[in-house]
């Protein structure tokens, strides 16, 4: 998939990851690699540990066992802010500041994390808003935007940090059905431009067309992973087949 030589470390390596909340084992030895430009789709039942896995990757939560490395560097040796800059995250519920315009929401990290001047930050924010099709909404407040537009601001905000990896946690689950396509369209564009993406999503049309790999997580175990053709047409485990069938009947539409 990538143009890198085989000796390069993977862009993301997750190795034997264990995570507990109290007595509950939430992740039970999860391992996988992602190369640059991979689009990894993560599916699994509610409570299977998908969000927890994403949160371990950018250290929003700590874990008890295993290792995570970004570009060969263990994430626990990285400065936390540096890690969060390199690993962008998009949430289900947008997480925008209501009192700031779209442009100011995107500028915030550029000013605070990247130390851009006001002028630099403004120019970059406008560029990113253009990229997600919102150049004409830069001065709108979140309440004046649709859910799909708010989510695209969230994506622009993450992209402004020049991330190496983007994490998406059910980015379209809070949206009305007619707004899902515009967000998936932006994600598809990003994938086409070579962004490395780890996406929790139920949108099976997107997964089939855009994913390089699909992982099925159940009870904190990685049951199966492989390219979409394999998981959809020829899964190794009956549970994978059942789960993907059910998701496809619920969310199989092509919104992109
Ligand atoms: N902060 C927390 N404190 C305690 N338990 C938690 C916490 N976050 C998650 N859990 C538990 O960990 C398990 C996995 O949760 P997680 O949110 O990762 O699942 P998920 O696969 O993302 O589910 P969903 O599809 O519903 O979003 C669940 O049993 C959940 O209750
Ligand atoms: Mg979740």
Evaluate if residue 253 carries a pLDDT over 70: no
Residue to probe by mutation, ligand 1, list 18, 47, 63, 220, most atoms within 8 Å of CB: 47
Evaluate if residue 6 carries a pLDDT over 60: no
Question: Measured on CA atoms in the order 27, 85, 101, 98, is the torsion positive or negative?
Answer: positive
Angle at 84 between CA 32 and CA 113, to 5 degrees: 160
Residue 51 structure tokens: 């969000």
Mean pLDDT value across the chain: 94
Residues with CB under 6 A from ligand 1: 21, 24, 26, 44, 46-52
CATH 3.40.50.300 fits 12-251, yes or no: yes
Asked whether 103 and 138 are in contact (CB, 8 A), the reply is yes
Q: What percent of the chain has pLDDT over 90?
A: 89
Average pLDDT over residues 46-61: 96
pLDDT in tens, 64-119: 999 999 999 999 999 999 999 999 999 999 889 999 999 999 999 999 988 999 99
pLDDT-derived band of residue 8, with 50, 70 and 90 as boundaries?
A: confident
pLDDT-derived band of residue 248, with 50, 70 and 90 as boundaries?
A: confident
Contacts with 54 (C-beta within 8 Å, 6 or more apart), sequence order: 42, 89, 167, 169, 198, 200
Evaluate if residue 198 carries a pLDDT over 60: yes
The atom of ligand 1 lying closest to the CA of 48 is 21
Strand pairing of 39-43 and 87-90?
unpaired
Helix axes 177-192, 147-159, angle to 10 degrees: 20
pLDDT-derived band of residue 144, with 50, 70 and 90 as boundaries?
A: very high
Residue 113 pLDDT: 87
Residue nearest atom 30 of ligand 1, based on CA coordinates: 47
Residue nearest atom 18 of ligand 1, based on CA coordinates: 49
Burial of 62 (0-12, 13-18, 19+ CB in 10 A): exposed
Evaluate if residue 254 carries a pLDDT over 90: no
d(CA 87, CA 110): 15
Residue 250 pLDDT: 84
The atom of ligand 1 lying closest to the CA of 55 is 18
């Amino acid at each position: 998939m990538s143009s890198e030589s085989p000796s390069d470390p993977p862009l993301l390596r997750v190795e034997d990851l264990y995570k507990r909340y109290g007595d509950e084992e939430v992740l039970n030895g999860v391992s996988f690699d992602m190369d640059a430009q991979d689009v990894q789709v993560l599916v699994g039942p509610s409570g299977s540990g998908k969000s927890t896995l994403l949160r371990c990757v950018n250290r929003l939560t700590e874990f008890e066992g295993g290792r995570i490395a970004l570009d060969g560097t263990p994430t626990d040796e990285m400065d936390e802010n540096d890690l969060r800059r390199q690993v962008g995250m998009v949430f289900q519920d947008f997480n925008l500041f209501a009192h700031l315009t779209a442009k100011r929401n995107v500028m915030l990290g550029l000013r605070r994390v990247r130390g851009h001047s006001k002028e630099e930050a403004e120019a970059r924010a406008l560029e990113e808003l253009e990229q997600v099709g919102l150049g004409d909404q830069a001065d709108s407040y979140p309440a004046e935007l649709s859910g799909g537009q708010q989510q695209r601001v969230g994506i622009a905000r993450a992209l402004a940090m020049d991330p190496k990896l983007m994490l998406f946690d059910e980015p379209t689950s809070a949206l009305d059905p007619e707004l899902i396509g515009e967000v998936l369209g932006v994600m598809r564009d990003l994938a086409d431009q070579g962004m490395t993406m780890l996406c929790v999503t139920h949108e099976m049309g997107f997964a089939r067309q855009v994913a390089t790999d699909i992982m099925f997580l159940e009870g904190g175990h990685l049951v199966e992973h492989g390219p979409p053709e394999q998981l959809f047409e020829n899964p190794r485990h009956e549970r994978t087949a059942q789960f993907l069938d059910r998701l496809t009947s619920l969310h199989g539409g092509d919104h992109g």
